[in-house]
């Protein structure tokens, strides 16, 4: 998008101020966007492994029919905490980490606008998850009501550790709200001269819109958990029919948060893919403006489709029709995005470096998740799909092969910029192929299991589902193990084992981040670059 | 921190607080929305004027009565009629019997629900024990009359209504049913 | 379609290779057509959308893979420089929109048909509770609970699993074929969801509210489903079994049911005059305990700390007999302990209370007879 006329930063690797402090203090007190970005990314990766370990417990129990390893109560805790950790602990912090690292570098800002808040918003996060994971070891166990915590299962019928669950969700909420505010202020106020709105890279644009979604809906989630807390412990009856409340209202409030949340997890992914595809097609992104408008319209539509998660709760006909039509409509801007990526590839000069491999896998597999999403939107058919493994397959296609693959692609794309060395490409390719094959063995058969009628969130199933579940579990273990390759690769790269790279790591790459040296110096753009 | 950042930060924090309050505002909004559209089948908990102008027509609808107590076992609750057929606009009376099975005073709150949900808009009660909490002495049996009429605007395609009451043990007068609704019910 | 065939082959290969210990049962690879007109329409709709998606997928991925193969740098492809085209962009906004309208029309039609419960021949009130279903035939004086019938030994692997593992209940719901049956759903505790795939009926049972659904079954048979909404610990263990009978057979069944109920009342009267032995009470009590109590209090009576209290050495099980009978019959307000007074007969209450007071080292030696329960109920009225 942008080119530099004069660039003081290429050679200016020498620090204008000072380098990082040494030891633990550096990380505790840091206000540097790159440090905080790294913290977020490592935290997200650790959470990804912990949440993944819980998925392994789930898949081990479901390896064959019967109860073998865990009891149903613990199984429910595993599905719940797996969901919470992956959503709030892995995907969201990973995107915040990418935002921290890349947004200032992409818009030519010296740092994030509110560096101290940045530090705070990261450092409260580990405590939130410490509390959440701790509840698993307490009397009564952790939350066992699904990550959607429908009342009254989460109120009258839950264990007392629900109070800690609520506290933990509050902290996660505050953290992501602060992160989002920081992103908005940075993008609004700190763009380099000449970096006009329509010159911003798409990653910045998608994050900008995501940040608005975050500040709009995370407070609503905070409200929902607060109501759960007061219903359970302080005698209110928001969701208790006996006291004049309505349990279905919980679902309305939750999904008013929950559906935009889905887009919070996928919009930045669109930004990442829109950065990678043009680089390795060596051709500018097709339809930049329509990408921006499509992102904005997806974000707006996400506020009026929430009840498509609730078709079976007994809505009147007009409600079902309204939410069906709105939901179907979302596939138009989403389709535009996919078409734009394909058009970008068309008549390019394509090469298949690792980030590109993940990005291409993203386009295909995310689109499959999009198709099943469209199928789920059709109310009468949704009655059959709802709460089955078909839904599980759908949201894992959009979240794992969608959001997570885009995060991995981003890591492979920018890692040389962060570390200054090229990572071990053989390992990276092994990681890609192992992940690609195992993730499809893991999630594709779930479509069939769901269509055949297996409900989600059950620890045991009837015999007809046995063979498929065995294969799904094998796929699950393989996918879990594949991520250890990534871990090994990241450790090697962070120890700077590898060939040093130039400022412009990829020959087709465009953008300000490729104008600074590799590794990116501790302080970049202390004097703003000039943009044509 | 520059001034521009501070100004923007303040605005965004206001948005966050606004949205937090909006989360709570969804509760009355939802109730109002339900009252207007009848989407959750909750009946409007307030008495209609029994002298209001009613147009009686020959069209008839069947009304089923479904009664249920909560999972606990304090009350016997029965409907003295399983279903009745009424003329649209005609004032009808039915009755329900509640028995306090315990040897202590109990407060009972009946929670009404109508299916199909939209029909709740056209079921007008002039008297109902569900308007407020009922006090039952130990081992007391009380028969509650319920008077209602069906509004002439009831959509043509509805010929069967189900009215269900779930009887809950109420903890105290104030804890149950929001105050404003109680007032509305009493007026 | 091709994709489905491909996966059918893979699936066959999988079932060929796989050596599951239990009796292999074929899993259908697609949504069921079901046995009602609505379920057939839903299936048709599902196939239509699936095919549309598959065609779009093949087109888009076809173009993409063409580019990936032919426009490769290693093949010497030089990048073009176009990056927008208003015409193309408008086209791929409008065309999907038109396709969506094409999908929405049949979907709306089916939905309207599904949401019309008028002129039903039979009304059944379906009440979910943790973790069983209760069916009440509204026009007839019949109601019963329907509980998972799969023995615990099959679940924990001590016995071989039966053909209908986890999809079998003690008392299935019976409905007539060719009649419009209306279901009114509600719940005693948390939200459940009543689902029978062959009817394409899935509706949430919300506490304090009623929901409606209906079906008209074309073919007599046994149809199995499950609870579809996470409802706590044993969510996976509350199946739905419906037997559809020809109308005449259904009427016979109904008459039998009424007769059965009368007999049970007579039997209870007879038992009031009798004393049962410890062995009789303990063996009946164990059966009732495992069926109704063990899912929370656990088969060994230890409960789950912090969630469900244990009964071993508990003040209820060792203390006053009347208080013990009371909690079984009336439940405990503010906890998950439901009232079993409506679900268990007096004989069953007597047996289970005796069992809980004498099992797992709770050696009180108390014998609770049917008449004790009867007198307790009389006194508390």
Question: Is there a domain that residue A305 lies in?
Answer: yes
Phi, psi of C51, rounded to the nearest 5 degrees: -70, -45
Residue C17: per-residue pLDDT = 45
Q: Is B118 on the interface with C (CB under 8 A)?
A: no
- Point out the least confidently predicted range of A25-39, A96-110, A190-204, B29-43: B29-43
Question: Is A33 an active-site residue?
Answer: no
Cross-chain Cβ contact A348/C229 below 8 Å = no
Cα torsion B167, B170, B176, B181: sign: positive
Nearest to A490 by CA among A414, A438, A435: A414
Question: Is there a domain that residue A524 lies in?
Answer: no
How far apart, in whole angstroms, are the C-alpha atoms of residue A347 and residue A344? 8
Asked if A312 and C211 count as a contact pair (C-beta separation under 8 A), the reply is no
Asked if A436 and A359 count as a contact pair (C-beta separation under 8 A), the reply is no
Asked if A465 and A454 count as a contact pair (C-beta separation under 8 A), the reply is yes
Q: Which residues contact A18 (CB under 8 A, 6 or more apart)?
A: none
Of the segments A9-13, C67-71, C117-121, which one has the largest average pLDDT value?
Answer: C67-71
Q: What is the mean pLDDT of residues C175-181?
A: 95
Q: How many other CB atoms sit within 10 Å of the CB of residue C275?
A: 11
Regarding whether B171 and B98 lie in a shared domain, the answer is: yes
Structure tokens at C83: 């990056």
Structure tokens at C256: 């039998």
Nearest to C207 by CA among B71, B44, B75, A73: B71
Regarding whether B54 and B27 lie in a shared domain, the answer is: no
Regarding whether B112 and B24 lie in a shared domain, the answer is: no
Could you please report the per-residue DSSP string of A260-328? HHHHHTTHHHHHHHHHHHHHHHTSPPTTHHHHHHHHHHHHHHGGG-GGGG-GGGT--HHHHHHHHHHHH
Max CA-CA distance within chain C? Answer: 99
Structure tokens at A20: 């990082």
Instruction: Count the domains in chain B.
Output: 2
Residues in A touching B12 (Cβ below 8 Å): 181, 184-185, 215
Catalytic residue selected from A205, A207, A263, A414: A263
Catalytic residue selected from A80, A161, A295, A334: A334
- Its CATH class, for the domain covering C30-75+84-114, is mainly alpha
Question: Is A175 an active-site residue?
Answer: yes
How far apart, in whole angstroms, are the C-alpha atoms of residue C213 and residue C207? 16
Residue A1 in this model has a pLDDT that exceeds 60: no
Structure tokens at A125: 């996060």
Residue B7: per-residue pLDDT = 92
- Point out the least confidently predicted range of A119-133, A231-245, A383-397, C214-228: A231-245
pLDDT tens digits, B29-75 = 888 887 777 666 666 556 666 555 666 777 888 888 988 887 666 78
Q: Residue A191 has what DSSP assignment?
A: P
Regarding whether B117 and B25 lie in a shared domain, the answer is: no
Asked if C195 and C202 count as a contact pair (C-beta separation under 8 A), the reply is yes
Could you please report the per-residue DSSP string of A430-499? HHHHHHHHHHHHHHHHHHHHHHTTPBSS-S---GGGHHHHHHHHHHHHHHHHHHHHHHHHHHHHHTT-S-
Structure tokens at C295: 């899912």
Asked if A188 and B8 count as a contact pair (C-beta separation under 8 A), the reply is yes
Q: Closest approach of chain A CAs to the CA of B117, in angstroms?
A: 7
Catalytic residue selected from A176, A344, A435, A438: A176
Regarding whether B61 and B3 lie in a shared domain, the answer is: no
Q: Residue A194 has what DSSP assignment?
A: T
Model confidence at C319, in pLDDT bands (50, 70, 90)? Answer: confident
Asked if A95 and A265 count as a contact pair (C-beta separation under 8 A), the reply is yes
Asked if A194 and A160 count as a contact pair (C-beta separation under 8 A), the reply is no
pLDDT tens digits, C262-308 = 888 888 788 777 788 888 889 888 888 988 888 888 888 888 887 78
Question: Is A337 an active-site residue?
Answer: yes
Expressed as residue numbers, the domain containing B27 is 1-37
Cross-chain Cβ contact A348/C77 below 8 Å = yes
Regarding whether B48 and B32 lie in a shared domain, the answer is: no
Asked if B24 and A238 count as a contact pair (C-beta separation under 8 A), the reply is no
Structure tokens at B183: 């007032």
Question: Is A147 an active-site residue?
Answer: yes
pLDDT tens digits, C134-148 = 999 988 888 899 999
Q: Which residues contact A338 (CB under 8 A, 6 or more apart)?
A: A363, A366, A367, A370, C60
The answer regarding whether domain C122-264 maps to CATH 2.60.40.420 reads yes
How far apart, in whole angstroms, are the C-alpha atoms of residue C63 and residue C66? 5
What is the residue-averaged pLDDT of chain B? Answer: 79
Question: Is A176 an active-site residue?
Answer: yes
Question: Is there a domain that residue A18 lies in?
Answer: no
Residue C2: per-residue pLDDT = 46
Question: Is there a domain that residue A522 lies in?
Answer: no
- Point out the least confidently predicted range of A134-138, A389-393, A472-476, B126-130: B126-130
Phi, psi of A89, rounded to the nearest 5 degrees: -105, -30
Q: In percent, how much of chain A has pLDDT > 90?
A: 89
Could you please report the per-residue DSSP string of A318-372? HHHHHHHHHHHHHHHHHHHHHHHHHHHHTT--B---HHHHHHHHHHHHHHHHHHH
- Partners of B163 in the β-ladder: B65, B114
Residue C91: per-residue pLDDT = 93
Question: Is there a domain that residue A297 lies in?
Answer: yes
Regarding whether B55 and B71 lie in a shared domain, the answer is: yes
CA angle B39, B42, B43 (to 5 degrees): 120
Question: Is there a domain that residue A415 lies in?
Answer: yes
Helices and strands (H and E) in chain C: how many:
11, 10
Residues in B touching A215 (Cβ below 8 Å): 12, 15-16, 19
Regarding whether B123 and B67 lie in a shared domain, the answer is: yes
Question: Is there a domain that residue A10 lies in?
Answer: no
Instruction: Count the domains in chain A.
Output: 1
The three-state DSSP-derived secondary structure of B21-70 is HHHHHHHHHHHHHHHHHCCCCCCCCCCCCCCCCCCCCCCEEEEEEEEEEC
Structure tokens at A438: 């195992």
Cross-chain Cβ contact C155/A453 below 8 Å = no
CB neighbour burial string for C325-347, b if at least 16 within 10 angstroms, e if fewer: bbbbbbbeeeebbbbbbebbbbb
Q: Which residues contact A73 (CB under 8 A, 6 or more apart)?
A: A141, A144, C233, C304, C307
Asked if the peptide bond before residue B116 counts as cis, ω within 30 degrees of 0, the response is: yes
Regarding whether B168 and B116 lie in a shared domain, the answer is: yes
Asked if C304 and C296 count as a contact pair (C-beta separation under 8 A), the reply is yes
Q: Which residues contact A139 (CB under 8 A, 6 or more apart)?
A: A159, A161, C305, C306
Helix pair angle (A33-61, A92-107), 10° resolution: 150
CA distances from A132 to A137, A222, A442, B71, C99 (A): 10, 16, 27, 32, 45
Q: Residue C217 has what DSSP assignment?
A: B
- How far is Cα of residue C128 from the mean position of the Cα atoms in its chain? 9
pLDDT tens digits, A474-524 = 999 999 999 999 999 999 999 999 999 999 999 999 999 999 998 999 999
How far apart, in whole angstroms, are the C-alpha atoms of residue A33 and residue A39? 10
Residue A53: per-residue pLDDT = 96
- Its CATH class, for the domain covering C274-380, is mainly alpha
Asked if B139 and B106 count as a contact pair (C-beta separation under 8 A), the reply is no
Residue A3: per-residue pLDDT = 43
Q: A261: domain CATH number?
A: 1.20.210.10
Structural element, H or E, at residue A3: none
Q: Is B17 on the interface with A (CB under 8 A)?
A: yes
Residue A532: per-residue pLDDT = 67
The β-bridge relationship of strands B106-115 and B134-136 is antiparallel
Q: B98: domain CATH number?
A: 2.60.370.10
Residue B53: per-residue pLDDT = 60
Residue A172: per-residue pLDDT = 96
Nearest to A206 by CA among A100, A326, A282, A293: A293
Asked if C180 and C116 count as a contact pair (C-beta separation under 8 A), the reply is no
What is the residue-averaged pLDDT of chain C? Answer: 87
Residue B71: per-residue pLDDT = 66
- Point out the least confidently predicted range of A69-83, A278-292, B89-103, C190-204: B89-103
Expressed as residue numbers, the domain containing A418 is 25-514
Structure tokens at B145: 């009359």
Residue A77 in this model has a pLDDT that exceeds 80: yes
Regarding whether B28 and B118 lie in a shared domain, the answer is: no
Residues in A touching C115 (Cβ below 8 Å): 316-317, 320
Question: Is there a domain that residue A79 lies in?
Answer: yes
pLDDT tens digits, B167-178 = 888 765 444 444
Model confidence at A447, in pLDDT bands (50, 70, 90)? Answer: very high
How far apart, in whole angstroms, are the C-alpha atoms of residue C32 and residue C26? 13
Residues in A touching B26 (Cβ below 8 Å): 220, 223, 249, 252-253, 256
Residue C119: per-residue pLDDT = 80
Residue A412 in this model has a pLDDT that exceeds 80: yes
A316 exposure class (CB count in 10 Å sphere: 0-12, 13-18, 19+): middle
pLDDT tens digits, C3-54 = 555 555 555 544 444 444 444 568 889 999 999 999 999 999 999 999 999 9
Residue A10: per-residue pLDDT = 43
Cross-chain Cβ contact A312/C50 below 8 Å = no
Cross-chain Cβ contact B160/C118 below 8 Å = yes
How far apart, in whole angstroms, are the C-alpha atoms of residue A470 and residue A261? 32
How far apart, in whole angstroms, are the C-alpha atoms of residue C148 and residue C238? 6
CA angle C195, C198, C202 (to 5 degrees): 25
Model confidence at A18, in pLDDT bands (50, 70, 90)? Answer: low
Q: Residue A513 has what DSSP assignment?
A: G
Taking the domains of chain C in order of start, what are their residue ranges?
Answer: 30-75+84-114, 122-264, 274-380
Q: Closest approach of chain B CAs to the CA of C27, in angstroms?
A: 37
How far apart, in whole angstroms, are the C-alpha atoms of residue A64 and residue B160? 47
ipTM: 0.90
How far apart, in whole angstroms, are the C-alpha atoms of residue C159 and residue C153? 5
Closest CB to A223: pick one of B20, B109, B171. Answer: B20
Asked if B72 and C339 count as a contact pair (C-beta separation under 8 A), the reply is yes
Q: What is the CA radius of gyration of chain C?
A: 28
The β-bridge relationship of strands C142-146 and C122-129 is unpaired
- Point out the least confidently predicted range of A2-16, A135-149, B103-117, C47-61: A2-16
Cross-chain Cβ contact B170/A185 below 8 Å = no
């Amino acid at each position: 998008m942008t080119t530099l006329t004069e660039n003081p930063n290429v050679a200016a690797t020498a620090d204008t101020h000072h380098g990082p402090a040494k030891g633990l203090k550096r990380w505790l007190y840091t206000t540097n966007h790159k440090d905080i970005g790294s913290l977020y990314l490592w935290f997200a990766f650790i959470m990804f492994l912990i949440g993944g370990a819980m998925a392994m417990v789930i898949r081990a129990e479901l390896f064959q029919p019967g109860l073998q390893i865990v009891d149903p109560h613990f199984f429910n805790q595993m599905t719940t905490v797996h969901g919470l950790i992956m959503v709030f602990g892995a995907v969201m912090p990973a995107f915040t980490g990418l935002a921290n690292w890349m947004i200032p570098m992409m818009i030519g800002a010296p740092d994030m606008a509110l560096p101290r808040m940045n530090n705070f918003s990261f450092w409260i996060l580990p405590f939130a998850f410490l509390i959440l994971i701790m509840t698993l070891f307490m009397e009564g166990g952790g939350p066992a009501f699904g990550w959607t915590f429908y009342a009254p299962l989460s109120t009258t019928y839950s264990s007392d550790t629900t109070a800690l669950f609520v506290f933990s969700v509050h902290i996660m909420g505050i953290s992501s709200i602060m992160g989002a505010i920081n992103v908005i202020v940075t993008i609004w106020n700190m763009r380099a001269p000449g970096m006009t709105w329509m010159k911003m890279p798409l990653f910045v644009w998608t994050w900008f819109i995501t940040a608005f979604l975050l500040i709009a809906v995370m407070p609503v989630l905070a409200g929902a958990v607060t109501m759960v807390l007061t219903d359970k412990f302080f005698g209110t009856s928001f969701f208790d029919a006996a006291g004049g409340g309505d349990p279905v209202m919980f679902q309305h409030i939750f999904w008013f948060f929950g559906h935009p949340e889905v887009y919070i997890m996928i919009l930045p992914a669109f930004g990442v893919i829109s950065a990678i595809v043009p680089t390795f097609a060596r051709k500018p992104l097709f339809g930049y403006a329509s990408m921006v408008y499509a992102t904005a319209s997806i974000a707006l539509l996400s506020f009026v489709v929430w009840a498509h998660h609730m078709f079976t709760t007994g809505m009147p006909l007009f409600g079902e029709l309204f939410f069906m039509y709105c939901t179907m409509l979302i596939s138009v801007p989403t389709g535009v995005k996919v078409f734009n990526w394909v058009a970008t590839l068309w008549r390019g000069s394509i090469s298949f470096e690792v980030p590109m491999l993940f990005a291409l896998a993203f386009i295909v597999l995310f689109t499959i998740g999009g198709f099943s999403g469209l199928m789920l939107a059709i109310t009468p058919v949704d009655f059959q799909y709802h709460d089955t493994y078909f839904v599980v397959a759908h949201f894992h296609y959009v979240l794992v092969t969608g959001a997570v693959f885009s995060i991995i692609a981003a890591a492979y794309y920018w890692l040389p910029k962060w570390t200054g060395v090229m990572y071990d490409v053989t390992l990276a390719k092994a990681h890609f192929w192992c992940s690609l094959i195992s993730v499809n063995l893991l999630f594709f058969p779930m479509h069939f299991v769901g269509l055949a009628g297996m409900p989600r969130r059950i620890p045991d199933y009837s015999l007809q589902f046995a063979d498929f579940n065995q294969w799904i579990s094998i796929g699950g273990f393989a996918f879990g193990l594949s991520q250890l390759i990534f871990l090994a690769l990241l450790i090697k790269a962070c120890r700077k084992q590898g060939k040093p790279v130039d400022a412009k790591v990829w020959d087709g790459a465009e953008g300000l981040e490729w104008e600074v040296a590799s590794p990116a110096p501790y302080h970049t753009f202390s004097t703003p670059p000039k943009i044509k | 921190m520059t001034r521009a950042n501070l100004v923007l930060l303040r605005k965004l924090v206001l948005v966050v607080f606004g949205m937090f309050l909006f989360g709570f505002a969804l509760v009355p909004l939802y109730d109002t929305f339900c009252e207007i559209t009848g989407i959750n089948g909750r009946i409007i908990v307030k008495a209609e004027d029994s002298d209001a102008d009613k147009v009686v027509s020959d069209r008839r609808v069947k009304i089923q009565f479904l009664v249920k107590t909560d999972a606990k076992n304090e009350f016997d609750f029965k409907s003295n009629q399983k279903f009745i057929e009424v003329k649209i606009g005609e004032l009808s009376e039915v009755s329900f019997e509640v028995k306090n099975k315990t040897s202590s005073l109990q407060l009972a709150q009946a929670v009404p629900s109508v299916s199909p949900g939209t029909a709740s808009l056209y079921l007008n009660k002039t008297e109902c024990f569900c308007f407020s909490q009922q006090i039952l002495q130990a081992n007391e049996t009380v028969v509650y009359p319920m008077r209602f009429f069906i509004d002439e605007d009831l959509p043509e395609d509805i010929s069967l209504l189900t009215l269900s009451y779930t009887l809950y043990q109420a903890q105290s007068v104030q804890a149950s049913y929001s105050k404003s609704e109680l007032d509305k019910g009493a007026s | 379609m091709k994709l489905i065939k491909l996966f059918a082959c893979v699936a066959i290969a999988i079932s060929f290779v796989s050596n599951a210990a239990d009796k292999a049962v074929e899993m259908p690879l697609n949504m069921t057509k079901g046995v009602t007109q609505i379920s057939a329409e839903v299936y048709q709709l599902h196939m239509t959308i699936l095919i549309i998606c598959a065609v779009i997928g093949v087109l888009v991925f076809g173009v993409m893979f063409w580019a990936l193969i032919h426009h490769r740098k290693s093949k010497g492809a030089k990048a073009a420089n176009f990056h927008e085209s208003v015409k193309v962009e408008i086209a791929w906004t409008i065309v999907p929109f038109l396709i969506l309208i094409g999908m929405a029309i049949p979907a709306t039609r089916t939905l309207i048909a599904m949401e019309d419960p008028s002129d039903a021949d039979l009304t059944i009130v379906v009440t979910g509770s943790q973790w069983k279903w209760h069916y009440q035939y509204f026009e007839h004086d019949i109601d019963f609970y329907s509980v998972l019938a799969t023995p615990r030994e099959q679940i924990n692997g001590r016995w071989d699993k039966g053909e209908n593992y986890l999809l079998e209940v003690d008392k299935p719901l019976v409905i007539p074929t060719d009649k419009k049956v209306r279901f009114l759903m509600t719940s005693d505790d948390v939200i459940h969801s009543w689902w029978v795939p062959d009817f394409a009926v899935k509706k949430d049972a919300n506490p304090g509210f009623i929901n409606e659904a209906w079906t008209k079954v074309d073919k007599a048979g046994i149809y199995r489903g499950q609870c579809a909404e996470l409802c706590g610990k044993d969510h996976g263990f509350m199946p739905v079994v419906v037997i559809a009978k020809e109308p005449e057979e259904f009427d016979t069944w109904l008459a039998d049911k009424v007769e059965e109920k009368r007999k049970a009342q007579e039997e209870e009267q007879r038992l009031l005059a009798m004393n049962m032995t410890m062995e009789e009470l303990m063996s009946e009590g164990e059966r009732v305990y495992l069926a109704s109590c063990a899912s929370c209090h656990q088969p060994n009576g230890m409960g789950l700390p912090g969630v469900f209290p244990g009964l071993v050495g508990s003040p209820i099980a060792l203390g006053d007999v009347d208080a013990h009978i009371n909690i079984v019959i009336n439940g405990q307000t503010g906890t998950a302990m439901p009232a079993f007074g409506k679900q268990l007969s007096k004989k069953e209450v007597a047996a289970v209370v005796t069992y809980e007071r004498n099992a797992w080292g709770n050696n009180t030696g108390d014998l609770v007879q049917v008449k004790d329960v009867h007198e307790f109920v009389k006194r508390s009225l």
